Amino acid sequence: MSLLWLLSTAAKAQAQNAIEAVTSTSRSDVELVRIDFTQPLTALPTGFVVQEPARIALDFPGVTNAVGRAAIAFNLGNLRAANVVQAGERSRVVLSLKQATTYQAEIQGRSLLVTLQPGAGQPLKTSSNAEFAEGRERGTTPLKDIDFRRGGDGAGRVVIAMGSSQLGVDVRRQGTALVADFMRASLPDALRRRLDVSDFGTAVESIHAEQMGDRVRLTVASRGDWEQSAYQADEQFVIEVRQRKIDPAKLTPGTGYAGDKLTLNFQNVDVRALLQVIADFTGFNVVTSDSVSGALTLRLKDVPWDQALDVILQAKNLGLRKNGSVLWIAPRDEINAKEKIELEAQATLENLTALRTQSFQLNYAKAATVVQSLTGSGSGSGSGAGASGGTATRLLSARGSAIAEVRTNQLFVTDTQVRLADVAELIRKLDVPVRQVLIEARIVEASDTFGKSLGVKLGGGAIGKNSSFGTSPTGTDNAFTSFTNSNFVNLPGGDAGGTGNSAGTFSLSLFNSAFTRMLNLEISALEAEGKGRLVSSPRVITADQTKALIEQGEEIPYQQATSSGATSISFRKAVLKLEVTPQITPEGNIILTLDVSKDSRGANTSAGPAINTKHVQTEVLVESGGTVVIGGIFELTETNDESRVPVLGEVPYLGALFRKRERVVNKVEMLVFITPKMVARQNAAL
């Protein structure tokens, strides 16, 4: 029974075709890939070319993988490696290239010869249904349809019905768009349109097709950070654009990984052999320590080679040191021990090296400040070998010392020749002129006042005889009279708005026929309007990251009780002050830390005069020479007053004689403008 089962299995295996080997050779500057099978192929395989990353994929239905490994490194010309992948009863051979190219396939006995294009710009004709290859037709092939669909994973899929499987396609990224050129193709009028697909919620915003000579150009405009893939099945060409997402469950390129992508699939492979595969792929010279051993199971797909190497090193606790094009790989403990021995040897040699003294003349930096940077101490007068504190940032060696000569601003440093060279480099960077900034502030205070007042006086009086003068020359008894007057309505117009102006008046008196009774009416009115503007412009110049202060005003005295019970005179400032600290950014902009105040004398009180304060404190980023408004205060005061005699003041029309009205509108606005400007040393004066 067992013998029959073995014979049946052997017969079945003999009937199943398999890939035995994949090799590569170079002949007359032409790269050839030879794929050997156990049985001859009945037809050329279908395949397609991927532009980014550069790949050629060939599918073999009914063929298994008998090579014994999945990845085969070549690193020959444009060919990097080959990967043989089996899925069920189908196998795929993927050729990894340095740059995209076309190919030509030919069956020779039990082998398939794949010839890669020898040079860019001269595509070869292919005998197979190879996608992305140049078509054979001398004329143009019209495209049938251009459609857009949304994939289940949120990817935007542009589906093009080409009309022929032999059309050549060039897909490339151009700025923020993806451009696909269909060679020797024509675009029907019905397809010459722009599709707005932004409502589908994918990375694709629009699709635009146009005829350009003997080719059709398809422009796919996308947004955000995206990636693309393209493939062809018979006459259908598909471009997928999806948002680049980070999946924590999968390996993703980390910070600094920029190598070409590769695919590795190994089961229990020796680590030294795996490192050799990466060396063949990258072209680096790899030196592996004798202590590197062990096996590793690894499956990586389209991962940058430097990330793949990092994964291998971390899995086996290995370290790497690079020297030019040579990579030395060893266990981390071995590398650390070797570096420790080298550092100890350098320290021993440094203790035996003779000391030298060198002087440095400083032009801009202070010698005492530089000493602090060299010794890591808090003292600026100097430091010797026994200086304490700050040794973690000490630039000098343990035997080195530095002395600052304040009078001539010189620095004397004693140390080894190597440390003196480091000191000279540090001084070259520190002893430079500090950039300066001119800060101009404009404080604008505008006021607009309006006042209106309307009032009335209503009164009466009587005329009587004055008996002390006797009779008049004309014989009348009342030629000389006395006058009495009283106001029974006294609501005169006032100083509206506090302008200090008096109201204008209009008076009218009425007498009876005997001139013994009189009625007085006096109307007073005032309308005043005033506009004012006060501009203060303090300016100050200071060095980068150095606080500057400028102020102008008065100090107001006031009495203050002391602890003994006596009084003393103290002063409080009422000044215009500008306090600023600028910081120049590498881009040439200026960060300002500002404190602007404008104080003035206010009303007098029993404890002394009050202080009217306007204060702004903030931090802003301004370009050099630009102006920014850092603050504003707007105050509006509007009052309407009315005084009247009860009942009578409410009578229509006639009630105006028994009312007084005042209306006051005051507007006060303050704005603070800041203009920083970097200045050259020769123009540093205000």
Q: What is the pLDDT of residues 111-138, one digit of tens each?
A: 898 888 765 433 333 333 333 433 333 4
Task: Say which amino acid occupies 648.
Answer: L
Averaged pLDDT, 484-504: 64
Burial class (CB in 10 A: 0-12, 13-18, 19+), 358: middle
Predicted pLDDT at 331 = 92
Identify the three-state secondary structure at position 184.
Answer: coil
Query: Highest mean pLDDT: which of 42-51, 138-147, 389-398?
Result: 138-147
Q: CB 305: neighbour CB atoms within 10 A?
A: 21
Q: Please provide the average confidence, as pLDDT, over all residues in the chain.
A: 78
Tens of pLDDT, residue by residue over 300-348, are 777 788 888 888 888 888 998 888 888 899 999 998 998 898 888 888 8
Q: Locate tokens 């992948």: which residue?
A: 85
| Residue 373 per-residue DSSP state | H
pLDDT at 582: 92
> Looking at per-residue confidence, does 534 or 667 come out higher?
667
Nearest to residue 239, comparing CAs of 167, 148, 330? 148
With 50 as the cut, is the pLDDT of residue 424 above it? Answer: yes
Q: What is the pLDDT of residue 482?
A: 52
* H or E element at residue 281: helix 271-282
Residue 549 is encoded by which pair of tokens?
A: 């202060």
89-98, 227-236, 356-365, range with the lowest pLDDT: 227-236
Which of 161-170, 247-256, 279-288, 565-574 is predicted least confidently? 247-256
Q: What is the DSSP letter of 333?
A: H
- Read off the pLDDT band of 207 (50, 70, 90): very high
- The 3-state secondary structure of 423-472 reads HHHHHHHHCCCCCEEEEEEEEEEEEEEEEEEEEEEEEEEEEEECHHHCCC
Q: Summarize the confidence of residues 450-455 as an average pLDDT.
A: 76
Judged against a pLDDT cut of 70, whether residue 363 lies above it is answered with yes
pLDDT at residue 390 tops 90: no
Report whether pLDDT(237) > 70.
yes
Say what angle helices 417-430 and 367-375 make with each other, to 10 degrees: 130
229 SS3 class: strand
Mean pLDDT calculated for residue range 139-150:
88
Mean of pLDDT values over 475-501: 59
Asked whether the bond before 53 is cis by omega within 30 degrees of 0, the reply is: yes
Instruction: From 268, 332, 281, 337, select the one nearest 309 (Cα to Cα).
Output: 281
Q: What local confidence, expressed as pLDDT, does residue 501 receive?
A: 64
Q: What is the dihedral of CA 336, 337, 343, 346, to 10 degrees?
A: -150
Helix (H, G, I), strand (E, B) or coil at 399: coil
Residue 394 CA to residue 351 CA, distance in Å, equals 16
Residues 69-92: tens digit of each pLDDT: 778 888 777 888 888 888 777 888
Q: What is the reported pLDDT for 147?
A: 92
pLDDT band for 251, please (50, 70, 90 cuts).
very low
Residue bearing the bigger pLDDT, 559 or 548: 548
Please, which pLDDT band fits residue 512 given cuts at 50, 70 and 90? low
Long-range contacts of residues 286-293, Cβ cutoff 8 Å, at least 24 apart: 286/326, 286/327, 286/329, 287/326, 287/327, 287/328, 287/329, 288/329, 288/330, 289/328, 289/329, 289/330, 289/331, 289/334, 291/330, 291/331, 291/334, 292/316, 292/318, 292/329, 292/330, 292/331
Q: Say yes or no to pLDDT of 467 above 70.
A: no
Q: What is the pLDDT of residue 206?
A: 93
Q: Decide if pLDDT at 615 tops 80.
A: yes
Write out pLDDT tens, residues 532-543. 777 888 888 888
Higher local confidence (pLDDT), 507 or 432: 432
- Nearest in space to 624 (alpha carbons), one of 670, 589, 673: 589
Q: Tell me: pLDDT of 511 over 60.
A: yes
Span 88-103, average pLDDT: 83
Report the predicted TM-score, pTM, of the whole model to 2 decimal places.
0.42
**Residue burial 2-19, b: 16+ Cβ < 10 Å; e: rest:** eeeeeeeeeeeeeeebbb
User: Around Cβ 37, how many Cβ atoms within 10 Å?
Assistant: 19
- pLDDT tens figures, 15-70: 678 898 888 887 666 788 889 999 998 888 887 777 767 788 888 888 888 887 77
With bands split at pLDDT 50, 70 and 90, how would you rate the model's confidence at 201? confident
Average pLDDT over residues 7-21: 63
Residue 299 identity? R
- Whether pLDDT at 405 is above 70: yes
